[in-house]
Chain A
Amino acid sequence: MQHINRREFMMGCSAAIAAMTGSKLSSVALAEATGSQTLVTVFLRGGWDALSVLPPLDGKDRGYYEAARPTLKVPVKGENKALELNAQLGLHPSLAPLFELYQAGHLAVIPATGMPSNTRSHFDAQEYLELGTPDARTSPSGWVTRFLTGTKSNSVTDLLSESLSLNDELPTSVRGNLKAVGFPSFDGFQLADDAEYRKFLGNALTRLWDGDQWLQQAGMTALRAVDTITKINSGEYKPASDAKYPDDSEFSKSLQTLARVMKAGLGVRAATVDLGGWDTHQYQGEKAQGYFGNLLSELARGLAAFFTDLDGLRSSTTVIVMSEFGRRLDENASQGTDHGHGSAMLVLGGSVAGGKVYGKFPGLAPDQLFDRADLAVTTDYRTVLLEVMQKRFGLKNSLDVFPNFKPSAALGIMK
């Protein structure tokens, strides 16, 4: 860059933010002091097989399960057997890292979750769940966006955005928020390597993009985010408490990125992370091993490392794991499972009354199934989300977030 004369640069917005950022940025201390809460939603795209995640252990349901799942059933004894959550339900053995958190009281498990819509389409179901309006897709905003406007922010600073998605593509749940920021990791998340050149580009781009149209606003959001992240992304990151993120997982990398952002106290109140690959129509894996087990392991190891790394932020962070639906009770000829209905949710956090299975497992007898084929839904996913929002974020009016929804009584998942 020898041709760049220092005089070619101008100072403006970017530099001002830089100075501001420098003075305000600190570490966990700031984030902790503000008492701000963060809700992390992990969306498992493709419809996870909830009956392999939470297999029935005993009684008639075990009989129906084994009959329907000759190759895919999770065993109850011997190698790779299910981990016992209670007398009725187990946890897939590949989720062992989460089982430890369950035993320590940080993880709550809710079987048979879902929504009233009877769609078995991925794309319908994801859209309904993320808009928060089952069977309607006309909402201009997603539930995360409405949740943020419906709750007050305690954070002293908003250097990045309240809404962060660890994705290249923004999910439907953050629709309608022009300030929602999205990036999967810090890799390459800067305008240029050279600091002076960064400033130069930042100023030029600010000038080019400053405007009141939708696209321009998205550009300005990106410029602010890039500027802020560039400031905190210096040096090697050392996770707290020797947390070990699996190094072969994009999902874990995203969670680690999120932990860094949270510790920097940048005011993120809602984060979304995706993990895909759950549409297991074929070769799901026998005896709790193989493809599905590996994917669960990636999920569990990533979440466990994230929770450990959060350190002092554990009690102010709540992680919700969900998927668009569960899968058919009967396995198919390809040793996989087709689209089903009832799913399962996990809630992880320092303020979770964990170590317990909440809600009701509806049973697997033909009459107990949805459409005589799939696990039924006994807990609306919105009831779970609302409890977190009300107890941890002081949400007053649930209709702000989920219009036309009358929640059931809270399950008591949150302390």
Chain B
Amino acid sequence: MGDLESGQENVLDTAILEPVANPLNSRRKFLRAGGALAVTAAVVAGAREANANLRGFSSDVKPEKLLLSTRKTGKPAIPALEIVVFNRLAFGWRPGDLEAFRQLPGGNAEKLRTWIELQLNPEKMTDQDCDAKLANLESLNKPLEVAWADYYKNLDDKDEKKFQKMGIPTLEARLATITRMVFSKRQLLEVMVDFWHNHFNVHPERDDSIKPTFMGYDRDVIRANAFGNFRVMLEAVAKHPAMLRYLDNASSNRAGPNENYARELFELHTMGAENYRGVGRQRDVAGYAQGQPDAYVDDDVYEATRCFTGWRIDDNTDESGFTNTGQFAFFQPWHDRFQKTVLGRYLPPDQPGTKDGQDVLDALATHPGTARYIARKLVRRLISDKPPQSVIDAAAKTFLEHQDAPDQMKYVIRSIVLSKEFASIWSEKIKRPLERFVSGLRILETDIKLNEDMLWTTYYMGQALFDHHPPDGYPDFREAWASSSGLLRSWQFMNGIAQDWDEKYKSGVMKTNANRRKPLEITDFWLERLLGRKPHPLEIRDDLIKFLADNGDSNEAITDDDTLKWRVQSIVGFILMSPDFMWK
């Protein structure tokens, strides 16, 4: 921090001081200016006076410094590998996770390889504690057809609880997902599930008929393919009633095609807007003559829309061949049978069944533009909001090389995580609200009650699970998540769980604190536990110690139990509310 009294550079960065017309930059000049500034000067003096009688957190800092300058902290240092890993490839850590990583054999590179292979094979990992918490969810394992019958088809119109029942699979999918984020050892799987849910976003409340199918969407489409083959996943998404209904393809027919799904298939699910050339003609796109156009245009969207006509849901018994199973059905009478051209491929008339649509999915899943787009999104998610091009290129190449592998995405993930950039980039991202919520619960080993109240907390924090209405998923760049209300609500939540103020979240900070009573010891214990490293800037550690010690001896035990509890829970809250707990 610049020294105010010496008149060194001090940027007036506090909004309150901006009415000052003259760009004064030192307190001395500031006070001399008088007049309109008198109010501020008086306030500053008053604050200093008051401070003399009070103590605590920052008693060695003159308050006017806080008011007049910005502390020059610089960028935080890149933390140890395990900190990076659990912040970016997991939803934070539970106590013991960091130690377990450190005890893996070999150097950092080998540890990371070992950890990644464990995580990429979740089925080999036992996860009983988490599984046990899911045991009471009635719709968890119901096949789609059964869920459709139980929560939609067979519901009685006179049943007062009809709409509540209809929503059970969606409610339970939300509860199960948060439970897994918090308790499952299969953390990388959960990170990828979160990634794909945002990538193939469905808002279940858009239509009553989506809600009964949403557990199935989470289980059979997203989870089943999270580490799998992209082309397989793409078709599973395209045929699932949740997506068919959400993006309206279920009602698209040759007489009045609905392009909603086809457009988002290109723009959000595969090639991305970066490979979109608007209204242009197909033949004008580079590479078209060679059968591999390097981008798509509106005409590709319209032609693909025709390809997917007749891809609908067996949701009634009135139409011929339908039995109301709630599952995907190809309905020939609605299908546009004529020839189409998509991405330079000629599709002849009268192709059998779903072949037109599958040809489109083939073209998209193997397109270099799709590889780049998926790679960029993943690198942004796993490394940085400014994704390094070299990592994107390598991941895209890997994506194409393994396009037929049943575990294609595992190769792509490895190429990103094992890149040299992975562990050498830090603080270009911040946790999204849901990550803040989950990582706070994980590190405090908070006991949570699985109910709708918990979902309300995620809503309040600004990122309710599976509640993003437009099809693009929640944004994954830091600017979107640093609004004043977003930060404030995270602070409120973090402080609340540290202090055990909420019946829903019981953390037991004092139990963890055990018999520690000395300020220095307490501070270092909690910094290591919550951050796994020293705070940035380092003087925050001194602040915490001074607060605990009431400016006294940092090695003198706090004897009064109430005082100890208040101060310990407060510093746990402070650490969780600090920027260090938000960078990733």
Contacts and interface: CB of A to CB of B under 8 A. Distances in A.
Contacts of B101: none
Q: Which residue, of A12, A19, A157, A338, has the highest number of chain B Cβ atoms within 10 A?
A: A12
B478 to A, nearest CB: 7
B582 A215 contact: yes
B44 interface: yes
Q: Which residue, of A7, A155, A200, A210, has the highest number of chain B Cβ atoms within 10 A?
A: A210
Contact of A168 (B257, B485, B570, B578): B485
A181 B487 CA distance: 11
Contact of A212 (B71, B484, B495, B582): B71
A192 B570 CA distance: 14
Given A156-B19, A215-B583, A169 B258 contact: no
Q: Which residue, of A181, A204, A205, has the highest number of chain B Cβ atoms within 10 A?
A: A204
Contacts of B263: 120-121, 339
Contacts of B578: 208-209
A323 B256 CA distance: 25
Interface string A194-224: 0000001101111111111111111111101
A170 interface: yes
Interface in A142-196: 155-161, 165, 167-170, 175, 179, 181-184, 188-189, 191-192
Contacts of B59: 10
Contacts of A331: 256
A411 interface: no
B534 to A, nearest CB: 14
Interface string A101-144: 00000000000000001111111100000000000000000000
Contacts of A192: 492
B19 A215 contact: no
Nearest to B36: A156
Q: Which residue, of A4, A15, A117, A279, has the highest number of chain B Cβ atoms within 10 A?
A: A15
Contacts of A241: none
A33 interface: no
Contact of A3 (B74, B482, B565): B565
B566 A13 contact: no
Contacts of B259: 332, 338-339
Contacts of B67: 12-13, 16-17
Nearest to B489: A188
B563 interface: yes
Contacts of B75: 213
A236 B231 CA distance: 57
Contact of A160 (B15, B74, B486): B15
A56 interface: no
Contacts of A200: 56
B285 interface: no
A291 B257 CA distance: 21
Contacts of A339: 259, 263
Contacts of A355: none
A62 to B, nearest CB: 22
Contacts of A279: 260, 470
Contacts of A409: none
B524 interface: no
B197 to A, nearest CB: 18
B567 to A, nearest CB: 9
A10 B260 contact: no
Interface string B548-584: 0000000000000011011000100010011100110
A189 B489 CA distance: 8
A159 B15 contact: yes
A282 B253 CA distance: 13
Given A16-B44, A170-B479, A213-B579, A222 B484 contact: yes
B480 A170 contact: yes
B430 interface: yes
A281 B484 contact: no
A11 interface: yes
B252 interface: yes
Interface string A291-320: 000000000000000000000000000000
B488 A189 contact: yes
Classify chain B: how many residues form its interface, as a range: 35 or more
B122 interface: no
B7 interface: no
B540 A207 contact: yes
Nearest to B73: A211
B205 interface: no
Given A3-B566, A276-B470, A333-B256, A123 B579 contact: no
A281 to B, nearest CB: 4
B430 A215 contact: yes
A336 interface: yes
B26 interface: no
A271 interface: no
Contacts of B74: 212-213
A388 B90 CA distance: 48
A12 B487 contact: no
Classify chain A: how many residues form its interface, as a range: 35 or more
A215 B462 CA distance: 17
B56 A118 contact: no
Given A159-B15, A182-B486, A333-B251, A20 B470 contact: no
Contacts, number: 254
Contact of A333 (B61, B255, B430): B255
B421 interface: no
Contacts of A170: 479-480, 482-483
B579 A210 contact: no
A355 B430 CA distance: 48
Contacts of A155: 19
A161 B15 contact: yes
A191 B59 CA distance: 21
A334 interface: yes
B248 interface: yes
Nearest to A341: B279
A216 B579 contact: yes
B276 interface: yes
B248 A282 contact: yes
B483 A167 contact: yes
Given A182-B483, A282-B258, A339-B263, A222 B488 contact: yes
A45 B470 CA distance: 9
A224 B487 CA distance: 12
A161 B484 CA distance: 11
B526 interface: no
Given A13-B66, A201-B495, A207 B54 contact: no
Given A189-B485, A212-B71, A207 B57 contact: yes
Given A156-B19, A159-B15, A169 B73 contact: no
Given A222-B488, A332-B258, A334-B256, A211 B540 contact: no
A394 interface: no
Interface in B21-57: 39-40, 43-44, 46-47, 50-51, 54-57
Contacts of B19: 155-158
Contact of B71 (A211, A219, A332): A211
A336 B484 contact: no
23 contacts: A8-B55, A10-B57, A11-B50, A11-B54, A120-B279, A123-B472, A155-B19, A159-B15, A183-B483, A188-B460, A188-B488, A200-B56, A206-B66, A207-B61, A210-B73, A212-B72, A215-B430, A219-B579, A222-B485, A282-B251, A332-B258, A333-B252, A334-B251
Interface of B: 13-16, 18-19, 39-40, 43-44, 46-47, 50-51, 54-59, 61, 63-64, 66-67, 70-76, 247-248, 251-253, 255-260, 263, 267-268, 273, 276, 278-279, 298, 301, 427, 430, 460, 462, 469-470, 472, 475, 478-489, 491-492, 495, 537, 540, 543, 547, 562-563, 565-566, 570, 574, 577-579, 582-583
Q: Which 7 A-B pairs have the closest CB atoms?
A: A333-B256, A182-B483, A183-B485, A211-B73, A12-B63, A222-B484, A218-B482
Given A4-B566, A157-B19, 10 more contacts: A12-B58, A16-B43, A20-B39, A205-B491, A211-B579, A212-B71, A215-B430, A220-B14, A332-B259, A333-B252
